[in-house]
């Protein structure tokens, strides 16, 4: 029985042990090596986990049963390499959960995360281990001492290499299965930290069961095959990377970990994809957009053909013109708009693009994945409205429990998600968990929980779900309630704008538009919006940037833009 995601690794190691499973810029791992590394990591850290658990419990270390040290956080100082991924699997084999930590995080944020997390220990998987970004009071173990690093076997670990080669694959498989035997699929697999509205990051805790849901759904809908090569763009501390790592395990494919710097050099990026035989990308919108912004496909001739089968994207609203550009060069590829927050395990809906959209259209987010229920919850207009479970309207007209039917187009409501894709909650944060993970309207609290995304959506005339904006991206301007996302959609449809984003200056009562373009085009933008938006929705201030700032997840850094504006650095 598949009770943990490592079962997929074991199956692949048995079916094709010498097939390449993981590769980074410098090294690669076969499925045999992947399994071996994971088991050796588990062996190496188990005594330390027991010792730390005993220390915290105030009992002798030899009195702690390793089987009892479970469901605890173990941090990994990550890099863009196979060592990080092997560390993840090794931690999972101990029955604990891994937490990817970016060593480049600001020291204050890293300290806050570690304080919230309180890990039993840290594994250092950086290419160049060195001083830690912040002081820690738990052991920090170098993953390179735990197994022979492919292509980098030194005199120090040559004995381990001989020992490892002497133990046949079946022995490692037996140990792996024995370690996995005590895990249940509702145990946590990983936690990733997202921004919190209170200023304290939230650790979203995701179970093995939710990852099985993800991979089963992607396989059923998209049909990944054994020769699929995923080009990994998403950082490992971002949940989007799970789609590459675990879909590859599910189909027996390969993951190529792309160096981060290449996303600033589109020509080099395309050559890397071609040489590494990448045929499937599941990227952030901004990563896909960079190639189009630089029109890199116009002139780049890769040394070998680049043959993309699937181009999938998520994280932000994709400008239609970006996908129209890609379609010129890869007309036979499958293009998919994915939607979903971290709290529902990457994605809960998908829309397959089967036609060419006009620039002023928007891609729907489509329909729910199998075994997932997605619905729109009508927002209360007043606190006097009768409320049902979870504090939402028990009934509104003919819409029972405030749920908007897909037969009712253009009515906006909060996107809610139900199913085993829903995360376990926020680590060590019961109040926020109770706030966002609630009972389904009209149902007993003992039944399925739902996750309230805080995103607003609506159904189009075809009954397809569409994203409107963040609930907190709604403003009141000139007595009108306005979705900033609607303004951005109109701006992004203008052909000479690469990308645009908007925010509201409450002090000056102005809608501010920051746009990326080759030259100042504010007059042309104002003219172009006359036919697209009513006057009260048109921005009051336009600011051009040659390049939008991106955050670590390759999304537009909206927080930084607003800070720069407030500090007078954007004019």
DSSP string, 493-518: TSTT-SEEEEEEETTTTEEEEEEE-S
Provide the pLDDT confidence category of residue 444 given band limits of 50, 70 and 90: low
- Three-class DSSP category at 545: strand
Distance between CA 202 and CA 425 in Å, rounded? Answer: 9
Rounded Cα distance between 300 and 483, Å, is 39
Give the mean model confidence (pLDDT) for residues 424-452: 86
* Residue 225 CB contacts under 8 Å (≥ 6 apart), including other chains: 251, 253
Among 72-86, 436-450, 481-495, name the most confident range.
72-86
360-379 tens-digit pLDDT: 899 999 999 999 999 999 87
**Residue 282, SS3 per DSSP:** strand
What mean pLDDT comes out for the span 196-215?
Answer: 87
| pLDDT reading at 157 higher than 70 | no
- Could you tell me the pLDDT band of residue 389, with boundaries at 50, 70 and 90? very low
Q: What is the pLDDT of residue 396?
A: 41
Three-state secondary structure readout of 24-93 = CCCCEEEHHHHHHHHHHHHHHHHHHHHHHHHHHHCCCHHHCCHHHCCCCEEEEECCCCHHHHHHHHHHHH
pLDDT in tens, 403-412: 999 999 999 9
Q: 30 or 472: whose pLDDT is higher?
A: 30
List the alpha helices (DSSP H) in 239-338. 241-251, 266-275, 285-293, 296-299, 320-329
Question: Tokens 């300290």 correspond to what residue?
Answer: 111
Q: Which of 278, 457, 252, 422 is nearest to 344 (CA)?
A: 422
For 104-133, what is the mean pLDDT? Answer: 92
- Supply the pLDDT for residue 148: 87
SS3 labels along 377-442? ECCCCCCCCCECHHHCECEECCEECCEECCCCCCCCEEEEEEECCCCCEECCCHHHHHHHEEECCC
Domains annotated for the chain, with CATH where assigned, are: 1-184 (3.40.50.980), 477-566 (3.30.300.30)
């Amino acid at each position: 029985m598949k009770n943990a995601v490592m079962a997929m690794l074991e199956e692949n190691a048995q079916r094709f042990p010498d097939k390449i499973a993981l590769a980074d810029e410098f090294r690669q791992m076969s499925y045999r090596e992947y399994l071996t590394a994971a088991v050796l990591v588990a062996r190496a850290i188990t005594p330390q986990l027991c010792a730390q658990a005993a220390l915290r419990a105030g009992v002798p270390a030899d009195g702690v049963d390793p089987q009892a040290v479970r469901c605890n956080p173990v941090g990994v100082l990550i890099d863009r390499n196979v060592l990080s991924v092997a560390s993840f699997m090794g931690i999972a084999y101990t029955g604990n959960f891994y937490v990817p930590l970016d060593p480049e995080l600001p020291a204050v944020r890293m300290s806050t995360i570690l304080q919230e997390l309180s890990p039993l220990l840290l594994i250092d998987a950086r290419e160049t281990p060195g001083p830690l970004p912040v002081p820690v009071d738990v052991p920090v173990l170098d993953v390179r001492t735990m197994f022979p690093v492919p292509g980098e076997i030194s005199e120090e670990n040559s004995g381990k290499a001989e020992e490892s080669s002497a133990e046949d694959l079946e022995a490692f498989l037996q140990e792996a299965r024995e370690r996995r035997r005590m895990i249940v699929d509702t145990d946590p697999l990983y936690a990733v930290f997202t921004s919190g509205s209170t200023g304290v990051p939230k650790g979203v805790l995701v179970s093995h069961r939710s990852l099985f849901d993800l991979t089963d759904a992607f396989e059923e809908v998209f049909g990944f095959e054994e020769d699929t090569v995923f080009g990994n763009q998403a950082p490992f501390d971002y949940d989007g990377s799970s789609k590459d790592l675990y879909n590859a395990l599910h189909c027996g494919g390969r993951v190529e970990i792309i160096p981060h710097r290449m996303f600033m050099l589109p020509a080099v990026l395309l050559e890397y994809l071609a040489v590494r035989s990448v045929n499937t990308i599941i990227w952030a919108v901004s990563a896909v957009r960079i190639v189009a912004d630089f029109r890199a496909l116009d002139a780049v001739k890769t040394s070998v053909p680049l043959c993309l089968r699937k181009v999938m994207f998520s994280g932000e609203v994709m400008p239609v013109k970006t996908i129209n550009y890609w379609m010129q060069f890869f007309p036979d590829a499958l293009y998919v708009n994915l939607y979903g927050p971290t709290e529902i395990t990457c994605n809960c809906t998908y829309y397959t693009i089967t036609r060419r959209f006009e620039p002023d259209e928007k891609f729907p987010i489509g329909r729910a994945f199998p075994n997932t229920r997605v619905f729109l919850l009508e927002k209360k207009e007043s606190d006097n409205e009768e409320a049902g479970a979870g504090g939402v309207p028990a009934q509104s007209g003919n819409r029972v429990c405030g749920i908007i039917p897909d037969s009712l187009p253009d009515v906006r409501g909060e996107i809610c998600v139900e199913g085993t894709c829903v995360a376990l909650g926020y680590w060590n944060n019961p109040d926020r968990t109770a706030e966002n993970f609630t009972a389904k309207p009209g149902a007993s609290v003992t039944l399925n929980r739902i996750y309230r995304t805080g995103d607003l959506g609506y159904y189009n005339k075809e009954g397809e779900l569409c994203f409107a904006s963040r609930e907190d991206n709604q403003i009141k301007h000139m007595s009108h309630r306005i979705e900033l996302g609607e303004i951005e959609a109109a701006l992004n449809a203008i052909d000479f704008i690469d990308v645009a984003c908007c925010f509201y200056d409450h002090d000056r009562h102005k809608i501010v538009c920051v746009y990326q373009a080759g030259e100042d085009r504010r007059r042309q933008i104002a003219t172009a919006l006359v036919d697209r938006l009513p006057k009260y929705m048109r921005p009051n201030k336009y600011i051009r940037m040659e390049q939008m700032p991106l955050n670590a997840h390759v999304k537009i850094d909206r927080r930084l833009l607003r800070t720069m504006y407030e500090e007078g650095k954007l004019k």
